[in-house]
């Protein structure tokens, strides 16, 4: 139950609240070990707004950049489930 509360708290503070999201994303971007996570978040926001015709090449680019171990901004913290949902 505490884990659920923590998850809801994180989601509310860092995702749902605009100022919390801005501050958390700024923290990620300014922390070298977390900068790739900030870039991924930015790119996923853009992906959500891209045209249907651009989705597949954009998704492929995102997978290569963030989900492939040799990618320039590899996010090794992503679970296999998350990578699978991205088609990787």
- pLDDT tens per residue across span 42-81: 999 999 999 999 999 999 999 999 999 999 999 999 988 8
Per the structure, the count of domains in the chain is 2
Residues 42 and 82 in one domain: yes
CA distance 3 to 77: 19
> What dihedral angle (degrees, nearest 10) is formed by the CA atoms of 11, 79, 25, 16?
-20
More confident site: 48 or 5: 48
Q: Do 23 and 42 share a domain, yes or no?
A: no
Is the same domain home to 51 and 79? Answer: yes
pLDDT for 5 equals 77
pTM of the model: 0.79
Which residue range(s) make up the domain with 25?
1-30
**Of residues 58 and 87, which shows the higher confidence score?**
58
46 and 16 co-located in one domain: no
């Amino acid at each position: 139950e505490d884990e659920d509360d923590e998850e809801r708290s994180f989601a509310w503070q860092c995702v749902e609240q605009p100022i919390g999201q801005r501050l958390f994303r700024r923290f990620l971007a300014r922390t070298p070990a977390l900068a790739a996570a900030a870039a991924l978040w930015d790119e996923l926001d853009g992906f959500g707004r891209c045209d249907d015709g651009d989705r597949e090449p954009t998704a492929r680019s995102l997978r290569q950049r963030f989900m492939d171990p040799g990618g320039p901004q590899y996010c090794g913290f992503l679970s296999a489930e998350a990578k699978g949902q991205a088609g990787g």
